[in-house]
Amino acid sequence: MAQQLDNADNILDDCESPEANIQTLKKRREFILASRGLRHSCKTMIVQLNQNDLGAIRLGITCSKKVGNAVVRNRAKRRLRAIAREALPVLGRVGFDYVLIGRHDLTVSSEFKILKNDFILALEALHLKTDGEA
Protein backbone atom coordinates (compact mmCIF):
# COMPACT_ATOMS: atom_id res chain seq x y z
CA MET A 1 0.00 0.00 0.00
CA ALA A 2 2.82 2.40 0.83
CA GLN A 3 4.38 1.72 -2.56
CA GLN A 4 1.07 2.54 -4.28
CA LEU A 5 0.92 5.85 -2.43
CA ASP A 6 4.47 6.70 -3.47
CA ASN A 7 3.65 5.77 -7.07
CA ALA A 8 0.66 8.13 -7.00
CA ASP A 9 2.91 10.99 -5.92
CA ASN A 10 5.47 10.12 -8.58
CA ILE A 11 2.86 10.11 -11.34
CA LEU A 12 1.85 13.65 -10.49
CA ASP A 13 5.38 14.90 -9.82
CA ASP A 14 6.92 13.53 -13.02
CA CYS A 15 4.38 15.12 -15.34
CA GLU A 16 4.93 18.78 -15.99
CA SER A 17 1.66 19.57 -17.70
CA PRO A 18 0.47 23.15 -18.12
CA GLU A 19 -2.54 23.97 -16.00
CA ALA A 20 -5.52 22.59 -17.87
CA ASN A 21 -8.64 24.64 -18.30
CA ILE A 22 -10.98 22.84 -15.91
CA GLN A 23 -14.55 24.04 -16.08
CA THR A 24 -17.12 23.53 -13.34
CA LEU A 25 -20.40 21.63 -13.51
CA LYS A 26 -23.01 23.90 -11.95
CA LYS A 27 -26.47 22.86 -13.08
CA ARG A 28 -28.42 19.89 -11.80
CA ARG A 29 -28.97 18.53 -15.31
CA GLU A 30 -25.19 18.44 -15.88
CA PHE A 31 -24.79 16.30 -12.75
CA ILE A 32 -27.65 14.04 -13.87
CA LEU A 33 -26.03 13.54 -17.29
CA ALA A 34 -22.75 12.67 -15.61
CA SER A 35 -24.50 10.15 -13.37
CA ARG A 36 -25.57 8.19 -16.47
CA GLY A 37 -21.94 7.50 -17.33
CA LEU A 38 -19.37 5.22 -15.76
CA ARG A 39 -18.73 5.16 -12.03
CA HIS A 40 -16.01 3.85 -9.76
CA SER A 41 -16.43 3.49 -6.00
CA CYS A 42 -13.54 3.80 -3.56
CA LYS A 43 -13.50 3.77 0.22
CA THR A 44 -13.18 7.54 0.35
CA MET A 45 -15.23 8.74 -2.65
CA ILE A 46 -17.25 7.85 -5.72
CA VAL A 47 -16.01 9.09 -9.11
CA GLN A 48 -18.37 9.39 -12.07
CA LEU A 49 -17.22 9.87 -15.65
CA ASN A 50 -19.23 10.83 -18.71
CA GLN A 51 -18.18 12.05 -22.13
CA ASN A 52 -19.15 15.56 -23.22
CA ASP A 53 -19.05 17.28 -26.61
CA LEU A 54 -17.50 20.49 -25.35
CA GLY A 55 -13.83 19.61 -25.71
CA ALA A 56 -13.05 20.55 -22.12
CA ILE A 57 -12.44 18.88 -18.79
CA ARG A 58 -15.39 19.61 -16.52
CA LEU A 59 -15.49 18.92 -12.78
CA GLY A 60 -18.39 18.63 -10.38
CA ILE A 61 -18.17 17.94 -6.65
CA THR A 62 -21.04 17.02 -4.40
CA CYS A 63 -21.58 15.84 -0.85
CA SER A 64 -24.98 14.85 0.52
CA LYS A 65 -26.19 15.55 4.04
CA LYS A 66 -25.12 12.01 4.94
CA VAL A 67 -21.52 13.29 4.91
CA GLY A 68 -22.25 15.61 7.82
CA ASN A 69 -23.33 19.12 8.65
CA ALA A 70 -22.50 22.09 6.41
CA VAL A 71 -19.04 22.59 7.91
CA VAL A 72 -18.07 18.95 7.34
CA ARG A 73 -19.57 18.89 3.82
CA ASN A 74 -17.65 22.01 2.84
CA ARG A 75 -14.42 20.59 4.24
CA ALA A 76 -14.99 17.39 2.25
CA LYS A 77 -15.65 19.37 -0.94
CA ARG A 78 -12.52 21.48 -0.41
CA ARG A 79 -10.41 18.34 -0.04
CA LEU A 80 -11.92 16.74 -3.16
CA ARG A 81 -11.48 19.97 -5.12
CA ALA A 82 -7.80 20.19 -4.12
CA ILE A 83 -7.15 16.62 -5.26
CA ALA A 84 -8.97 17.14 -8.54
CA ARG A 85 -7.16 20.41 -9.29
CA GLU A 86 -3.86 18.62 -8.74
CA ALA A 87 -4.58 15.41 -10.66
CA LEU A 88 -6.96 16.29 -13.50
CA PRO A 89 -4.56 18.54 -15.45
CA VAL A 90 -2.17 15.58 -15.61
CA LEU A 91 -4.46 12.55 -15.75
CA GLY A 92 -7.79 13.95 -16.92
CA ARG A 93 -8.96 13.68 -20.51
CA VAL A 94 -10.39 16.52 -22.53
CA GLY A 95 -14.02 15.94 -23.47
CA PHE A 96 -15.05 14.27 -20.21
CA ASP A 97 -17.08 15.31 -17.18
CA TYR A 98 -15.80 14.14 -13.80
CA VAL A 99 -18.05 14.14 -10.73
CA LEU A 100 -16.63 13.43 -7.27
CA ILE A 101 -19.05 12.39 -4.55
CA GLY A 102 -17.92 12.55 -0.93
CA ARG A 103 -18.50 9.64 1.41
CA HIS A 104 -19.68 9.71 5.02
CA ASP A 105 -16.77 10.37 7.43
CA LEU A 106 -14.07 8.91 5.19
CA THR A 107 -13.65 11.85 2.80
CA VAL A 108 -12.94 14.18 5.70
CA SER A 109 -11.08 11.86 8.06
CA SER A 110 -8.77 10.04 5.61
CA GLU A 111 -5.26 11.26 4.97
CA PHE A 112 -4.82 13.47 1.93
CA LYS A 113 -2.37 10.99 0.43
CA ILE A 114 -4.94 8.18 0.62
CA LEU A 115 -7.60 10.39 -0.97
CA LYS A 116 -5.23 11.28 -3.79
CA ASN A 117 -4.29 7.64 -4.34
CA ASP A 118 -7.96 6.58 -4.44
CA PHE A 119 -8.73 9.29 -6.99
CA ILE A 120 -5.81 8.32 -9.23
CA LEU A 121 -6.76 4.64 -9.09
CA ALA A 122 -10.38 5.53 -9.89
CA LEU A 123 -9.30 7.63 -12.88
CA GLU A 124 -7.13 4.83 -14.21
CA ALA A 125 -9.96 2.29 -13.82
CA LEU A 126 -12.50 4.56 -15.51
CA HIS A 127 -10.15 5.39 -18.38
CA LEU A 128 -9.52 1.68 -18.93
CA LYS A 129 -13.29 1.15 -19.15
CA THR A 130 -13.68 3.97 -21.68
CA ASP A 131 -10.80 2.61 -23.76
CA GLY A 132 -12.45 -0.81 -23.73
CA GLU A 133 -15.72 0.62 -25.04
CA ALA A 134 -14.08 2.48 -27.92
Where along the chain do its domains lie? 2-133
- CB neighbours of 86 closer than 8 A, spacing ≥ 6? 12, 116
Distance CA 59, CA 23 (A): 6
Q: How confident is the model at residue 19 (pLDDT cuts 50, 70, 90)?
A: low
The answer to whether the CB of 63 falls within 8 A of the CB of 77 is yes
If pLDDT is split at 50, 70 and 90, which confidence band does 86 have? very high
Q: Does the domain made of 2-133 have the CATH classification 3.30.230.10?
A: yes
**pTM across the whole model:** 0.84
Query: Mean pLDDT over residues 34-58, rounded?
Result: 94
Give me the chain's average pLDDT, please. Answer: 88
Q: What is the pLDDT of residue 51?
A: 93
Cα 67 from Cα 101, distance rounded (Å)? 10
